[in-house]
Structure 1
């Protein structure tokens, strides 16, 4: 039986720039960096060092080359925060592209884009 989502694969065009976005702008932590010595490397990031689920940044071009059957589309990720207004201000102050705060049945939410134009969302969960 599956009891947790362990890692989410995010395929990006520029791993180093994506890593900078997630760690310097979005506030994630670098959990690990792997390099297989044959051109494949990846970065594992998470909102906190002890998070149960992490995101792994993979090189989209290399994955397409070695595993053409893999869906390279951006996953639709919804993050949680306890203070949406502060998160919105922090992201805006860091020049992250953000959408308007809107009310949905789950609560207040806004979307944001990474530096490659991939969109994600953050909802307030108190």
Structure 2
């Protein structure tokens, strides 16, 4: 019935700052960007052109205006890599705020923060 996870909406304070963070610091690609009126655009980023799942970078304030009861708090997102050490070092070089690289019996992982201070977890999947 459900084949894939399509999109995860990240409510952000500023779409351009979020776009810059994901594309310049984490090497994501803009997968779709289209104006949707004078004050808004639909903006999706993903880790590569071939990756199906994307993050929709959606302006928090616009969502609050459109739907005052919407919950715009940050979702819990776990991302995946096959080379955690390289990802950790590259994020540090890109001045991303990263947590301690944890080596657990079930794998390695670390947390990091985006431009708005939201937490993510990156886990090594081999």
Q: TM-score with structure 2 length normalisation?
A: 0.94
Q: CA deviation at 1:3?
A: 1.8
Residue 16, structure 1, aligned to residue 16, structure 2: yes
8 Å contact from structure 1 (residues 106, 123) kept in 2? no
Deviations 1:25-69 (A, max 9, x none): 011000111211242212100001121210010110010111123
Structure 2 unmatched ranges of 5 or more: none
Structure 1 unmatched ranges of 5 or more: none
Q: After the TM superposition, which segments of 4 or more aligned residues of structure 1 sit over 3 Å from their partners? A: none
Distance 1:47 1:93 in 2: 18
Distance 1:75 1:34 in 2: 24
Distance 1:44 1:69 in 2: 23
Distance 2:87 2:116 in 1: 20
8 Å contact from structure 2 (residues 10, 74) kept in 1? yes
Distance 1:40 1:99 in 2: 33
Q: TM-score with structure 1 length normalisation?
A: 0.94
Aligned counterpart, 1:82: 82
8 Å contact from structure 1 (residues 109, 121) kept in 2? yes
Distance 1:59 1:125 in 2: 31
Question: Residue 75 of structure 2 aligns to a residue in which SS?
Answer: coil
Aligned counterpart, 2:53: 53
- CA RMSD, Structure 1 to Structure 2 (Å): 1.2
Q: CA deviation at 1:7?
A: 0.5
Aligned counterpart, 1:124: 124
Question: Residue 71 of structure 1 aligns to a residue in which SS?
Answer: coil
Question: Following superposition of structure 1 onto structure 2, how do residues 82-101 of structure 1 map, counting pairs within 5 Å?
Answer: 82-101=82-101
